[in-house]
Amino acid sequence: MVTVTISTMPFFKDLRRRSKTRFRTSSSPEGQSNGDMMAGKSTSTLDTLSSNNTPPSSIKPNRSSPNLPTLLKSNGASSGSSTQASTPPQRPVPISSQSNRNSWAAASVLSVNGTIRTPLPASPYAPRVVSISDNSWVHQKVLLVHGQIGDRHHPLDGTLMVIHPPDTFPPTYWPVSESYFKALVHLSPGPNKLRFDFTSPKLSSGSITASHSSWISINYLPLANNPPLDLVILLGKDSTGTFDAVPERIKREGNGLDVAIRKYRMAAYLWQAFTGEQMFRNNFGRRCFRFEEEWQTGSLSFRDTVAGQMRNEAKVHVIRTDKTVAQLRDLNVAQQCESAMGLFTVARDAVEDYFRPRPDQKRYVSVLLLDSHWETSTQTITGHAAMGSDSGNIKMAIFGSHCLQSYPSCLEEVVAALTDCTRTDTNYVGNDCGECGSNWEAANIGIGTHLHEIGHLFGCPHQESGVMMRDYVRLNRTFTIRESYSTRIRAQGLKLCLPSDECGWHRLDALRFRFHPCFHLPSDVPASADESLQVWPADNGKILLTAASGIAFIKLYAEGDDTCHTFIEYVNGESGNSGISRQVVVTETELRQRLPANKQKKKVRLEIFSGGLGSHTIPDISLLKSKHSLVKLPNGQVGYRGNCLGSSQLEGSQREQLILECAFNQKKILTSIKIYHGAALNGLEFCYEDSTSQLFGRSDGNFAGDEFVLDARRGEILMGFYVRAGTGIDGIEILTSFGRKSGVYGDAKGGLGHTLIPPRGFSIAGVSGSCASWIDGFSLIITH
């Protein structure tokens, strides 16, 4: 039998290397590779690609994926193939410019035959955004950007148009002055490909005004897992829902509740845009607080409001109190000489009744008091208070509506509102503290002061500069290029407002925001639930600071200082995302040297903050090396007393101290600890292998005591305690060297949690504190 073998391998080998497109169309010219073949497209395809003004997607495919065949590999076909030789060459593809800055009016967009478009030349007048780079990620709906046109040696005025992706948001227009611009950009979740067009009469060509364009892609990722800042408008139970405004404004835009909501929402987005930019300038990334959003008629563009376009925008809660408008205004008048706590308490009660937070839930709430009113007869603002607090579960800031008429209600009104020189008519609206002599200054004071109170809401005290020191009188400069005449200083404002002229958050505020849960980023190291920190004096004048969440920063106050002027920060990494040290060593000498020379010998107070924003105050650092902090052990060693938990102020409270025998006698082995407790901790009894024991506190409470046994035969030892403490010690948990935890004895939810574990290189030598009817003071004594 004769077998005939036909070789088909070269044929199939070549066939497999042909793409489906090549198989259905003519082959490539002689010697042309697959990459060249893919570059040669039909005329219709070229027209489609050339006429598309949209830049390449910011989300690029994975070129190295093994599941995607490469299109750039040579097919390896023989150059002598008769099929390839007979194929006419395809039309070459024009090489287009890769620049994303173009001059659209000056470019010739059609070739001679009218079918193929020529590349668009780069324009020196295309807008350059310098505040953010292409393909950046942000976490806020309204982004503040600034940049430049051309160069400073040839300044130009004109208009910047921001064009959003098709059908996502109407275009907005922003002034360009001396070649500088600032703009507020609306973003949709996901990638946003934005086009910036610059036009100027000085660049006009005949009857055509030149338009110079650039592209930038910004990715918006909402941080839905962060707690929001809730926006609330508070009304009296009989309120008509109107606010003070001059007749002309009432006629033009109204002064009802719907207008108040739009203006308040726009002010909130200005807070957010300002804060996001400030955090970026402080090298903490583009982090910012977020708002709760709802599907509603959009108001960030007036075109949305007119057309009824639905969007996800910040929700404004409208809450009515159980007080009448008259009662709210009388309440404010009655205590103007005392404090604003009356209105604040009424607002907090109403907010708490509305949100009904769980005991362990924190709410961050900004309240606008809509029933504030300018009393022309007394020249006072009633129903108004400016106050913020971070205490309790409701963290709240309140402010009146007496400046609300001057606020912008949409993006298109921002520049106009912050440059409006119309004088304040005190026949209808108030001039708050004499700083609201014109509309733009009233907007500054209203929006800025409310932001100041929100700073208090987030825990910020008054600072030496910035928003928390009334620097918000310059808030307008953040959003405008030119500044109008100021009645406050009776002078013309800046002709050009550069970033260096703007107000800002103080660095200490930015540090606090960096670790605040409302500002958390997905890239941040997960924060420890334990926000407590401990201070341990040690030998050679050292002070050891420990915290489960890390040590964030220290504030130093010389005697007589009410505001912090000197601080130390321990944030690692450019954006502060790499975690912080859980143990920091400082010395009194080092701390004093950081103060001005004339204050170094004064009494120095320290405020230490953990990464969980827990804090501890040392009234006088000199006390850390005094006899109050040092303990002499029976074997001659020196022990050091850590900071005390609890108030030690209960009636009949007596100081106690216990040095563990096992700390200085190796023959004494600790085998168990008995805990006497009820709703609080009464006492601790340390039991040894030789049947002896030592008692700290009282042995009543739980009659027999709960006993936690250590595995002494395997070398398990006491490592520390987890303590729930308020005015007294509510509960305690035992921690061992084997990683075991006893569970909390006493009230597991009382007070605040504190982890007491000696620093590296130290061990527990004893316990110290005070006891009355139960233990009301507790600290560890440590030694080398």
SS3 label, residue 581: coil
The DSSP element (H or E) to which 40 belongs, if any, is: none
Write down how long the chain is.
784
CA distance 431 to 534: 48
Contact indicator for 375, 442 with CB cutoff of 8 Å: no
Beta-carbon contacts of 379 under 8 Å, excluding residues fewer than 6 positions away, are 426, 430
- Closest listed residue to residue 495, CA positions, set 90, 155, 94: 155
Q: Which residues are catalytic?
A: 453
Beta-carbon contacts of 224 under 8 Å, excluding residues fewer than 6 positions away, are 290
The CA-atom distances, in angstroms, between 435 and each of 100, 429, 430, 569 are 45, 13, 10, 35
Contact indicator for 31, 78 with CB cutoff of 8 Å: no
CA distance 266 to 319: 19
Which pair of structure tokens corresponds to residue 217?
Answer: 């892609």
Q: Three-class SS string for 377-420?
A: CCCEEECCCCEEECCCCEEEEEEECCCHHHCCCCHHHHHHHCCC
Angle, vertex CA 782, rays to CA 777 and CA 784, nearest 5: 175
Amino acid 23 reads F
CA distance 308 to 303: 8
Amino acid 372 reads S
Contact indicator for 214, 126 with CB cutoff of 8 Å: yes
CA distance 291 to 366: 11
CA distance 100 to 107: 14
Four-residue CA torsion sign, 642, 643, 646, 650: positive
First to last CA, the chain: 96
- Closest listed residue to residue 380, CA positions, set 339, 417, 430: 430
Query: Up-side HSE of residue 62: CA atoms within 13 Å toward CB?
Result: 5
> Which residues, in sequence order, are bridge partners of residue 162?
172, 196
Beta strand extents in 423-473 (DSSP E only):
none
CA distance 588 to 586: 7
- Closest listed residue to residue 284, CA positions, set 527, 584, 462, 523: 523
CA distance 536 to 473: 43
CA distance 182 to 201: 19
Which pair of structure tokens corresponds to residue 277?
Answer: 């930019």
What single string gives the DSSP state of each residue in 728-742? SEEEEEEEETTS-B-
SS3 label, residue 403: coil
Task: Report CA dihedral (396, 397, 402, 403) to the nearest 10 degrees.
Answer: -130
Amino acid 3 reads T
